[in-house]
A and B are shown apart, each in its own frame.
Chain A
Amino acid sequence: MKKGIIAVLAATMVATLALTGCGGAGDDKKSEGVMTYEEYAQAALDSEVVVETYVQDKQGWWENEGVGMATFYTQDKEGAYFLYNMPCSKEDYDKLTQGTKIKVTGYKSEWSGEVEIVDAVFEIENGNYVAAAKDVTSLLGQDSIVDEQNKYVSFKGLTIEDSGDGQAFLYNWDGSGEKGSDLYFNASKDGKTYTFTVESYLRGQDTDVYQAVEALKIGDTVDMEGFLYWYEGINPHITKITVK
Chain B
Amino acid sequence: MKKRGILIVTLVSAISILLTGCHGRKGMEAFSMPEQFDESKTYNITFWAKNDTNKTQTEIYKKAISDFNAIYPNIHVDLRLYTDYGKIYNDVITNISTGTTPNVCITYPDHIATYMTGDKTVVELDEMMRDPRYGLGGSEVKFDAPTEEEIIPEFLAECKIGDGHYAVPYMRSTEACYVNKTLVEKLGYTLPDILTWDFVWEVSEKAMETDADGNYAVNGQKVMIPFIYKSTDNMMIQSLYQLNAPYSDDNGNIGIFNDSTRDILFTVAEHAKTGAFSTFKISSYPGNFLNAGQCIFAVDSTAGATWMGTDAPLSDIHESKKAHFETAVLPVPQYDTANISMISQGPSICIFNKDDNEEVLASWLFVQYMLSDDVQMAYSETEGYVPVTIKARNNPAYLDYLSREGEDNSLHYDVKIKAAKLLLDNSKNTFVTPVFNGSTSLRDASGQMIEEVTKATRRRIEVDDAFIDKMYDNMKSLYRLDVTRSAAGNATSTEQSELPTESKSLLIILAVVWIFIAGYVLYTYSRNKSC
Name the one of A111, A176, A232 contacting B81, with C-beta atoms under 8 angstroms: A176
Contact between A65 and B10, CB atoms less than 8 A apart: no
Question: Is A60 a contact partner of B8 (Cβ separation < 8 A)?
Answer: yes
Distance A233 CA – B318 CA, assembled complex (angstroms) = 8
10 new A-B pairs (CB below 8 Å) besides A85-B6, A173-B3, A178-B81? A62-B10, A63-B13, A64-B7, A64-B9, A67-B478, A107-B455, A178-B80, A201-B8, A231-B1, A232-B317
A109 contacts chain B at the CB level, 8 A cutoff: yes
The segment out of B48-56, B124-132, B419-427 that lies at the interface is: B48-56
State whether the Cβ of A225 lies closer than 8 Å to any Cβ in chain B. no
B444 contacts the other chain (CB 8 A): yes
Whether a CB of chain B sits under 8 angstroms from the CB of A149 is: no
Q: Is there a chain A Cβ closer than 8 Å to B11's Cβ?
A: yes
5 contacting pairs across A/B (C-beta < 8 A): A46-B459, A62-B6, A112-B285, A177-B81, A231-B316
* Contact (Cβ within 8 A) A176 B1: no
Residues in A with CB closer than 8 Å to B8 are 59-62, 201
Number of A-B contacts (CB under 8 A): 85
User: Bound state CA distance, A85 and B5, in angstroms?
Assistant: 11
Q: Is the CB of B54 within 8 A of A176?
A: yes
Residue of A59, A111, A173, A176 with highest tally of chain B CB at under 10 A: A176
> Is A128's beta carbon under 8 Å from chain B?
no
**Beta-carbon nearest neighbor of B281 in chain A:** A111
Is A152 an interface position by the 8 A CB rule? Answer: no
A positions within 8 Å CB-CB of B: 46-48, 59-67, 71, 85, 107, 109, 111-112, 119, 172-178, 181-182, 184, 195, 201, 231-233, 235
Are A112 and B284 within 8 A (Cβ)? yes
Top 4 A-B pairs, shortest CB-CB distance: A173-B1, A112-B284, A60-B8, A176-B55
Please tell me if the beta carbons of B55 and A175 are within 8 angstroms of each other in the complex. Answer: yes
Given A65-B478, A201-B8, A233-B318, residue A176 in contact with residue B284 (CB < 8 A): no
Q: How far is the CA of A7 from the CA of B460 in the complex (A)?
A: 59
Q: Which residues of A contact B6 (CB under 8 A)?
A: 62, 71, 85, 201
Q: Please give, as numbers and ranges, the residues of chain B lying within 8 Å of A172 by CB-CB distance.
A: 53, 83
Given contact pairs A62-B7, A195-B1, A232 touches B316 in the complex (Cβ within 8 A): yes
Measured CB to CB, the nearest residue on chain B to A67 is B478
Q: Is B395 located at the chain interface by the 8 A CB criterion?
A: no
Q: Are A182 and B3 in contact (CB under 8 A)?
A: yes
* CB-contact partner of B12 in A65, A107, A112, A182, under 8 A: A65
Chain B contact residues (Cβ within 8 angstroms of A): what range? 35 or more
Is B262 positioned at the interface, with any CB of A under 8 Å from its CB? no
B479 at the interface (CB under 8 A from A): yes
Interface members, chain B 257-309 (any A CB < 8 Å): 282-285, 288
A177 to B59, CA, bound (A): 11
Q: Are A107 and B459 in contact (CB under 8 A)?
A: yes
The one of B7, B13, B55, B317 in contact with A174, judged by C-beta atoms closer than 8 angstroms, is B55
Residues of chain B within 8 A of A63, CB atoms compared: 9-13
Give complex CA distance A181, B53 in Å.
Answer: 10
Q: Counting chain B CB atoms within 10 Å of each CB, which of A46, A60, A107 scores highest?
A: A46
Contact residues in A for B74 (Cβ distance below 8 Å)? none
Given known pairs A119-B455, A235-B1, the reply for A65 and B7 (CB within 8 Å) is no
What's the Cα separation between A175 and B460 when bound, in Å? 43
CB distance from A99 to the nearest CB of B (A): 23
Task: Tell me, yes or no, whether B41 is within 8 Å of chain A by CB.
Answer: no
Q: Name the residue of chain A whose CB is nearest to the CB of B285.
A: A112
Q: Which chain A residue lies CB-closest to B86?
A: A64
Known: A172-B83, A174-B54. A65 touches B441 (CB 8 A): yes
B480 CB → nearest A CB, Å = 8
Residues of A within 8 A of B409 (CB): none
Question: What are the residues of chain B within 8 A of A177 when measuring CB–CB?
Answer: 53, 81, 83
B12 proximity list for chain A (CB < 8 A): 63-66
Distance of B23 from chain A, by nearest CB (Å) = 22
Are B11 and A64 in contact, CB atoms less than 8 angstroms apart? yes
**Which B residue's beta carbon lies closest to that of A182?**
B3
Of chain B, the residue at the smallest CB distance from A173 is B1
Q: How far is the CA of A43 from the CA of B417 in the complex (A)?
A: 44
Residue of B with least CB distance to A107: B459
Cβ A111 vs Cβ B316 within 8 A: no
Q: Which residues of A contact B316 (CB under 8 A)?
A: 112, 231-232
B251 at the interface (CB under 8 A from A): no
Which of chain B's residues have a CB closer than 8 A to the CB of A182? Answer: 3
Closest partner residue, chain B, to A65 (CB atom) = B478
Quick one: closest A residue to B460, CB to CB? A46
In the assembled complex, the Cα of A201 lies from the Cα of B53 at a distance in Å of 17
Minimum distance in angstroms from B31 CB to a CB of chain A: 30
- Using Cβ atoms and an 8 Å threshold, which residues of chain B touch A232? 288, 316-318
CB-nearest residue of chain A to B457:
A46
Neighbouring A residues of B9 by C-beta, 8 Å: 62-64
- Known contacts A65-B444, A85-B6: does B1 contact A184 (CB below 8 Å)? yes
- Bound-state CA distance A178–B459 (Å) is 40
Q: Is B58 an interface residue (CB 8 A)?
A: yes
Q: Closest Cβ of chain A: how far from B257's Cβ, in Å?
A: 17
